[in-house]
Amino acid sequence: MESCVFCAIVNKQIPSASVLESETALAFLDTSPIAPYHTLVIPKAHYVDIIDVPLQVLHDVTDLIHQVCQLYSKKLGINSYQIFNNTGPHSSQTVLHLHFHILPRYEDDAIKFSFRHMPELVKNYPEMLTRLW
């Protein structure tokens, strides 16, 4: 895609700190890191999000995520990660090219993710599941 920053990285129009790559996926250090070794993993072809991507390409991306985590574990001793994807405007997806974050976590790091649990939703599970069938 012409105006996509990640496509420009794949096409080497914008430099990146590449960690690993395969024929179909690329892992590189995030330019707005939350922690050391905060890494993005993307398909090299342009797909907007997890809904848009073909299953085989998604498999290739998750395989590269696995390889990056193994590399960081072996070389750096990192053994805690948050791996996440934001899909759509209500999830804070800002770059409309599928990407996953590998966020290494460290003891006593300053990163705070806060979720409000909603146990009251459990009673709605039968109705929620009915809407899916």
Report the pLDDT value the prediction gives residue 108, as an integer from 0 to 100. Answer: 87
Reported pTM: 0.92
Catalytically active residues are 99
Q: Which domain holds residue 39?
A: 5-108
Residue 124 inside a domain? The answer is: no
Q: How many domains does the chain have?
A: 1
Residue 62 inside a domain? The answer is: yes
pLDDT higher than 90, residue 112: no
Residue 122 inside a domain? The answer is: no
| CB-CB contact of 18 with 26 (8 Å) | yes
Mean pLDDT over 7-26 rounds to: 97
Mean pLDDT over 14-43 rounds to: 96
Residue 82 inside a domain? The answer is: yes
Residue 103 inside a domain? The answer is: yes
Q: What's CA 24's distance to the chain center, in Å?
A: 15
Residue 132 inside a domain? The answer is: no
Residue 70 inside a domain? The answer is: yes
